[in-house]
Structure 1
């Protein structure tokens, strides 16, 4: 039986399959079960068999003016999962789109004024991040992959900022002891991220006319610490 669960919120099957494989490799375990929230609603009782859950990215945006009933249900399920984690029910690592869900749930603002295009980005740990069991060993800085249109305008009440940079000040935060969030993508290798770009060529994460240039820059990047974060997450909550 798998001890970790990957929660999928990507509509694109190929991208979702690849993301699942990326998380499995980064977490350092052979088996990571998969729950696709686009196909079935969250059943909190199912989580009792796992020691941790990771939530992948999505082209959804919390700030979308118009949302389908499916997106609204997915966001509601992620809020329930986040609250369950805050209450100590399970360790959770929310990434990309889902940090916005958690931020809004905590009463924070999700804004569109600090986007980051598809690229390798340097982020710095905060003093609190320096002593955090997951982020601390990567201090004082790490290079990760980013690609987002929205982000938290500020650290929401009750959260502890763990990582930041000048472009997007809220890169990662923790709530309590069991809930971690990251605006960036910790799981992909350069090859993984370059391949993922093909699914989102015309969706606004980079200039489609510069696809080859951006993909080449991604492939040339040295990015390893994101996976190290996930490995420590899996080990810490073992």
Structure 2
């Protein structure tokens, strides 16, 4: 029997966490039962063994990792401590990893990146372009050189960590995807989101500062005009390569 994947969730909001879980599995092209979800925000959290899984994924979050420690909630600090312990194991053991959005901060800051609000971006669709390195990365062999994807983030990588490889970029966010080592990847964009999923997430995070709440309908109209099917290919490729 093939080993399952592990999705570490850092969303306290139940519906958003459920939606993310099902969307990740769907766009990976695997049964949802094969993606084991572990909530890092849950009181009953128990540390996993990353090496027991075909690969580890980390979902997004309403938390902002570059928020000064003294301004973070107890829940965020506890969640990031848990994530950090798992990510240290993932990197040390070379476990295949795919981090979505929030992982840009939780993983790359541990490795020496500068992550701040310089390139934060509200909920929108952006044109992502593979770099020269991205065009030759085996994970991205079947991903178009340029594609549209959904974003929404308060922080982003300003300076990539030493030894990492930037695989995709966009205007104005210079790091949309990077690789650490041979098999650990993070994306700033959301390869798990389609239009319906993003609208539901916008509803869940209406007052979280990703867009002006009073402009909900305008933002929905804008993101609905863009097709992001090719962005899902990143998750499908991860499942094929490591599953």
Structure 2 length-normalised TM:
0.92
**Is 1:36 paired with 2:39?**
yes
Q: How far, CA to CA, are the matches of 1:51 and 1:12 in structure 2?
A: 27
Cα deviations by residue, 1:50-105 (Å, 9 ceiling, x for unpaired)? 10121111110011131123312221222222222223342111111121111210
Corresponding residue for residue 53 of structure 2:
50
Q: 2:207 aligns with which of 195, 202, 207?
A: 202
SS at match of 2:221: helix
Structure 1 runs, 4 residues or longer, greater than 4 Å off: none
Matches within 5 A, 1:1-238: 3-30=4-31, 31=33, 32-39=35-42, 40-41=44-45, 43-45=47-49, 47-65=50-68, 66-238=71-243
Q: How far off its partner does 1:207 sit?
A: 1.5
Do 1:78 and 1:98's aligned partners in 2 also have CA atoms closer than 8 Å? no
Q: How far off its partner does 1:144 sit?
A: 0.9
Long gaps (5+) in structure 2: none
Q: How far, CA to CA, are the matches of 2:181 and 2:6 in structure 1?
A: 20
Do 2:120 and 2:155's aligned partners in 1 also have CA atoms closer than 8 Å? yes
Name which of structure 1's ranges 144-153 and 34-43 shifts more when overlaid on structure 2.
34-43
Cα deviations by residue, 1:90-127 (Å, 9 ceiling, x for unpaired)? 21111111211112101121110111111111111111
Q: How far, CA to CA, are the matches of 1:42 and 1:91 in structure 2?
A: 21
Q: How far off its partner does 1:161 sit?
A: 0.4
Do 1:148 and 1:205's aligned partners in 2 also have CA atoms closer than 8 Å? yes
Long gaps (5+) in structure 1: none
Structure 1 length-normalised TM:
0.94
Cα deviations by residue, 1:15-50 (Å, 9 ceiling, x for unpaired)? 1111111111011111211100101445242x3431
Q: How far, CA to CA, are the matches of 2:137 and 2:92 in structure 1?
A: 19
Do 2:38 and 2:45's aligned partners in 1 also have CA atoms closer than 8 Å? no
Do 1:163 and 1:173's aligned partners in 2 also have CA atoms closer than 8 Å? yes
Do 1:108 and 1:152's aligned partners in 2 also have CA atoms closer than 8 Å? yes
Q: How far, CA to CA, are the matches of 2:143 and 2:46 in structure 1?
A: 33
- For the aligned residue pairs, the C-alpha RMSD in angstroms reads 1.6
SS at match of 2:67: coil
